[in-house]
Structures are given as structure tokens and as C-alpha cells.
Amino acid sequence: MDDEVKTKSLRNIEEKMGSLDSGSLRYHILESAKNFKCSWIELGRSLYSVWKDKMYKEWGYANFDVYASREIGIRKQTAMKLLKSYYFLEKEEPQYLKSDYAEASQAATIPSYESVDILRQAKNKKVLDEREYSNLKKEIFEKGRDAQELKKNLGVIIRQRQELEPEEAQEKRKQAVLRRLLGQLRALKQEVEILKMLPAPLIKEIDVLIKKIDAEFTA
């Protein structure tokens, strides 16, 4: 977003704030959006409430995407990352939402929502073991690593694991290829049967082959 667009977005937010009660949730969200860098956690908390309770409808918006875009000037993808990152902290790492942590942290070292989103995805997809996950948390919350650096480090960890566990990586590739082959064979067998392109004995042989390949998954 260039400076002109940022300025216009901020001006729109300020205009909306001018017509609202300063004690209302809607005003509070707009204020958080203005101070995005330092208060994304507060913005994420508020957006999560708005999304969960569909409060945007009370404010005249048909859906959450339109609300996020027109009211506070952020895209759906960004808004969803914000609320998902906040909810992840609330559920999995609530200690980082405590006031004493926020007060002790400098604005420059407060983790970005992109970094927390990487941690969330790593947790959900189980791509890290317990030690690696703990180290990733330290990189984010103690050292303030940015998202691009975290992605690069994660890629290195995953590649190293594949090199250290070649048999497991090879087995995964084998399973993936067999699944594709099975899917193609079943689709072709069905098409051949419908069009009566082959005699019954040959179709039975295809069926036997499918069963033999399928048995590899349970071997």
C-alpha cells in the first residue's frame, strides 16, 4: 500500500471515528486500525468478536469482508489472519496476551501477526516437534524475528529433516504416487466398463491389479 493510499485510508477511518461514540466497540476497532503496528493484537481481538457475533450486520454491512474493506481499509485475507492469529494466542499461548507481557515488550519487538500466523500454521500442521516448536516461539516472542526470516528458517528445518530421514521421505513419495495411480486406474476402469471397450476378462485383470496396489497401503 503506497503512502497516498495509506493517507486516504487513515482519513476515512478518522472521518468514521468522528461520528461515533468514543466508548463504543466500533470506535475502538477503528482506533486500533489506526495504530495497527503496535496494537494488532487488540485489533485481532475485536475483529474476532465482530466476526464471531456477526456484529458487522448491525452496522449495515452484508458480510465481514465488506466490513473489513470499507470500514477499516484492510483486505479479507489480512483481516482473517489477524483474527486467527489472535484466537491462536488466546487458545494456545495465552501468556502472551497478559498485560504484563505487553507492557514489558517494546513496540519494535512485539511479534507481527504474520509471524504468529506462521506459528499457528506450524502447530496445526504438526510440521515441528516439541523442541523445534519451542525454539520457534523464542524466535518470535523473544527475538522478534520477522515473518520472511521465519519462513526461510522453517524451510531449512523441513529440508534437513527430509535429509536425515530419507526412508520416511521416500515412503511418503511412494504412498503419494500409489494414490495417484490408484485413482487413475479406478477412473479408467469405470470408463472402460461404461463404454465396453475391453472384454470382461481384461477388466477383471485391471480390478485384480487395483486390489494388489491397494493392498500396498496396508502391507
Helix (H) or strand (E) holding 34: helix 25-34
Mean pLDDT over 11-21 rounds to 85
| 167 Cα distance to chain centroid | 29
pTM of the model: 0.57
Q: Please state, rounded to an integer, the average pLDDT across all residues of the chain.
A: 80
CB under 8 A, 24+ apart: contacts of 50-56: 50/25, 51/79, 51/83, 55/25
Q: Which residue has the higher pLDDT, 191 or 109?
A: 191
Which grid cell sits at 98? 497478559
For the segment 70-114, what is each residue's pLDDT rounded down to a tens digit?
988 888 889 999 999 999 989 888 887 775 555 555 444 578 888
